[in-house]
Structure 1
């Protein structure tokens, strides 16, 4: 089997290399307290797009830092009440996509909420000094500021806030809510399950946002992680702050959040992935203490994994 990373037996034991800040737990407890103090002011706006068996809405809520967050919400019309729900998260710089890909779950009796990450390709705000999109550069946003101002801190909190909003809907069974997504969406599904431990199941594929130092050590700070190299070139060209930078990134490393997950996890990984290296994904997976399984695709890169979506549907129907 060709290798771009460690052999599989080593991947199954790898625990990561990015440092974990000493005050990591206090950091996230403080962050969650700020989220809980934020009045979400939830608004549902009926969409022009509708289908006979479900209602489609634009869902808006206030996130931390004053941003107004947008998600697409699809609610089945004839499902049992209360019924399960699924939270979908998208890839880096993309958006919540068409209504059509939510209808599969709605047809199975799930409420579906798909969040636009703030400042990326959808309709959520980035309140970092401008209105509208900032598209990329979100991993490094806040590295020259206090750790509380890291942008992905807010994005991770948005996922947890969305989960709580959906769980509080009277038609939703709060004990049967799942989180799914690929790439950035996979990382966010794990972060959501970590920060809102009531999430029953998580099904991430090829997750992003894990073990940043390992990406750097493998000389793979390009593609989705290119901004790490750009940051060093412009702001620390001699790497005098390298230890500090990676420790600060540790606050938003999904690997360090993963032990908080209580729900069941099914993760998909391609062993030839050079965008989000397999070792970074295994670092997060190996940190999960709840029931879990890894679906391994030896010949696949950073791409859609065959039958993984079908496996995800079956996994969620078992809730």
Structure 2
């Protein structure tokens, strides 16, 4: 079959191209300490959408820079037992989607929380300014200022704070929590599992936000990664600061985080993916030291992987035990 990236044998050995900042661990340790000092003030507002078996709410909480973050939250109706929970993260520039996509999990006895990323299409606030341009895309937002002010630093922390809040819900068993998402949602799934090692299962599909330098070297800074080319053309047309730019992006490169993961991981990969090339996905996967496996879809690109949602649904069933 044709390939768009490395052969599978090389994918399984690839360790990534984006530089890892020397103070990476200290940086994220400080960010998590910062999160400890935030009073999230969670609020549940009953949704107008309800079913006979699911109680549905709008969940709001305060995160970094004072932003009020929104997530859909649903739980089994009339259940007194502690339930497992799954957090869902959406694709780039999207939102948490419709309630119907989550109801099979609630019907199966799970609590669910689906977060709207700040600054994207949902209800979460994008509070706090950043230095530098924001004319195209979001992972470059804040690249000209202190690393801790980068937008995706805040979004990664939002996922961790959501996990902490859900784990403290009266109806949730904090020892049985999973995370799930595709593309940006896949990247956030890995980021959340990295920052909250108590998470037990993670199911990312074709994760975005991994190995920016590899994307650049493959000349695939288009589509979801197009803002990388926009940034260089506008801010560094002669690439005099290329090394420094990729090093700063290293703070929000999920491949640099995933060694922290303790969850069991199942990753779905389309080998024809030219949006998030397979090598960038395996750069993150190969650093995971907890139990893990991948499922390949040789003829699929950056799209729904046929039958994979059912596999993921089965993957999470053991959280009920």
For 2:144, the equivalent position in structure 1 comes to 144
Structure 2 counterpart of 1:85: 85
Asked if the contact 1:198–1:262 (Cα under 8 Å) also holds between the matched residues in 2, the reply is yes
How far apart, in 2, do the equivalents of 1:26 and 1:126 lie? 26
Question: Are positions 1:66 and 2:66 aligned together?
Answer: yes
Q: 1:143-292, aligned counterparts within 5 Å?
A: 143-292=143-292
CA drift of 1:135 comes to 10
1:127-138 to structure 2, matched below 5 A, reads: 127-129=127-129, 137-138=137-138
Measure the CA separation in 1 of the matches of 2:135 and 2:151.
Answer: 12
Structure 2 segments unaligned to the other structure (5+ residues): none
Q: Give the CA deviation at 1:306.
A: 1.1
Equivalent position of 1:50 in the other structure:
50
Query: What's the Cα RMSD here?
Result: 1.2
C-alpha distance in 1 between matches for 2:217 and 2:194:
26
SS of equivalent to 2:174 = strand
How far did residue 128 of structure 1 move? 3.4
**Any idea what the Cα deviations from partners look like across 1:160-180, whole Å, max 9, x if unmatched?**
000000000111010110000
Does structure 1 conserve the Cα–Cα contact (< 8 Å) formed by 2:259 and 2:289? yes
Distance 2:67 2:227 in 1: 23
What is the DSSP-based 3-state SS (H/G/I as helix, E as strand, rest coil) of the residue aligned with 2:250? helix
* SS state at 2:188 partner: helix
Q: 1:173 to 1:136 in 2, by over 3 A?
A: farther
Whether the aligned pair in 2 keeps the contact of 1:93 and 1:136 (CA below 8 Å) is no
> When the two structures are superposed, what TM-score results if normalisation uses the length of structure 2?
0.97
- Aligned partner of residue 73 in structure 1, secondary structure: strand
Q: SS in structure 2 opposite 1:192?
A: helix
Q: CA deviation at 1:138?
A: 1.2
Residue 1 (structure 2) pairs with residue 5 (structure 1): no
Q: Is the 8 A contact 1:186 1:208 kept in 2?
A: yes
Change (3 A) 1:117 1:136: farther
Query: Is contact 1:85-1:178 (8 Å) kept?
Result: yes
* CA shift digits 1:265-311 (9 cap, x unpaired): 00000000000000000000001000000011111000011111111
| Aligned twin of 1:302 | 302
The 2-side partners of 1:241 and 1:175 are apart by: 44
The answer to whether the 8 A contact 2:136-2:230 is kept is: no
Q: Deviations over 1:49-91 (max 9, x none)?
A: 1101011000000011111100000111144611100000000
What TM-score do you get using the length of structure 1 for normalisation? 0.97
Q: How many correspondences in the alignment?
A: 316
Q: CA deviation at 1:35?
A: 1.0
Q: Is the 8 A contact 1:120 1:136 kept in 2?
A: no
